[in-house]
Structure 1
Amino acid sequence: MTTRTLYLYCSAAPPVQYVAEAIGQAHARAWTVCLGLTPTAATWMRDDINSLEELTGHPVRSAYRLPGERSPWPKADVMAFAPITANSLNAWALGLTPSWVVGSLVAAIGTAVPVVAMPCVNESLAGHPQVDRSVAVLREAGVSVLYGEGGWVPNASGQGRPDAYPWGLILDEVDRVNGGGRRPRQQ
């Protein structure tokens, strides 16, 4: 049986609290999952790290490796960033590397590994013009960004339901890009 490996990266948006459910859904789709968290997300999830490592069978990562240290993860077939905050989205699109997770995704754009993302921003944050610019930059770079109709639609501040985050949408896209390879750059 062929093993498919998904690197699932999460930033500190409320749905990260339900990432174990997403991992379970990915396992049901025959994905091996390696979980990476931004530093703030790792802080939010600190009481769950051991159970998440047991669930994935791999260390949960949130920091850069030391020079010369080998990756504890198998090679990725697909990378997904969900939920992604406005902060991480904008840093990624600008090529900034404030954390290991964002740095990994900045570097991933230059590889053949397909990358998908689904923001989790409210209407207030989505109203800043940089969010739409960042989505456009990432799409132009070949990242499949599920934002707007058919993906994440921003809700009013304080009105979100983190337990209802559409993990299935991101996993459907992970399956799609794995079958079809990397999306061509849009001109």
Structure 2
Amino acid sequence: MNDQPTKPFLYVVVCAAGIAGDAHRLITAAQAQGWDVGVVATPQGLGFLDAEAITQQTGYPIRSAWRSPGDPRPLPPADAIAVAPATFNTINKWAAGIADTLALGILCEAYGLGIPTVALPYVNAAMAAHPAYGRSLDQLRELGVMVGSYEPHRPKAGGGAERFRWEEALSLLPQDVRR
């Protein structure tokens, strides 16, 4: 494990969606651009990931649960955060300030800490049609969250993976984030 990163540190927050298993694509792209990366998964998102492969790729364990008081922090502080894929549930809870998981707690706290944050939504068109979703995206934008351009896929199709641009998260982050 790395003790003192010399590179900027990116948290990749992964939610439960069919494409979550491809999160390694964002990790690889970030590392190629000079980032150190740690992954935080929602409790349901954890099941979509190859934890061993991601731990080997990043050098850090995947975080999904709160640590006990006094336990060491397994990840350095984030210089930036990318939520990919960002699901309907996470987007709505985050915008409402609900911090009932480690991932949501980190996202809600990021606003107060001024950590640049990007969300790459991955939802189907039926979920995206719910009025709460649009309001939540607007609320996140008002908080300074940069929201990706993915267009919702057809319901019950599990599609759109080929249109999901993992690397967009990096292009949305401000260039001055790098140390």
TM-score (norm 2): 0.90
CA distance in 1, matches of 2:27, 2:78: 15
Structure 2 partner of 1:184: none
Whether the 8 Å CA contact 2:150–2:163 is kept in 1: the answer is: no
Partner of 1:162: 161
Q: Which has the higher helix share?
A: 1
Hey, what does 2:69 align to over in structure 1? Answer: 67
Deviations 1:127-169 (A, max 9, x none): 00000000011111111122xxxx1111111151325421011
How far 1:41 sits from its partner (Å)? 1.0
Name the counterpart of 1:31.
Answer: 35
Give the aligned length.
173
Equivalent-residue separation in structure 1 for 2:70 and 2:177 (angstroms): 34
Letter in 2 for 1:156: R
Match of 2:20 among 16, 21, 40: 16
| C-alpha displacement of 1:116 | 1.1
Please give the residue correspondences for 1:54-133 in structure 2 after superposition, counting only pairs within 5 Å: 54-133=56-135
Provide structure 1 residue ranges, at least 5 long, that are not aligned to the other structure: 182-187
Pairing of 1:147-186 with structure 2 (within 5 A):
151-157=149-155, 158=157, 160-174=159-173, 177-179=174-176
In 1: Cα distance, 2:45 partner to 2:162 partner: 16
**1:10–1:81 Cα contact (<8 Å) kept:** yes
Match of 1:107, SS?
helix
Unaligned runs of 5+ in 2: none
Q: Compute the RMSD of aligned alpha carbons.
A: 1.7
Check whether the contact 1:114–1:178 (CA below 8 A) recurs between aligned residues.
Answer: no
**CA distance, structure 2, for counterparts of residue 44 and residue 16 of structure 1:** 6
CA-CA distance at 1:44 after TM superposition:
2.4
Tell me the distance in 2 between the aligned counterparts of 1:91 and 1:136.
13
Paired position in structure 1 for 2:45: 41
What's the TM-score, normalizing by structure 1?
0.87
Contact 2:79-2:177 at 8 Å conserved across structures: no
- Deviation string for 1:46-81 (max 9, x for gaps)? xx1111101001111101111122211112110111
Q: Percent identity?
A: 35
Structure 1 ranges of 4+ moved more than 4 A:
none
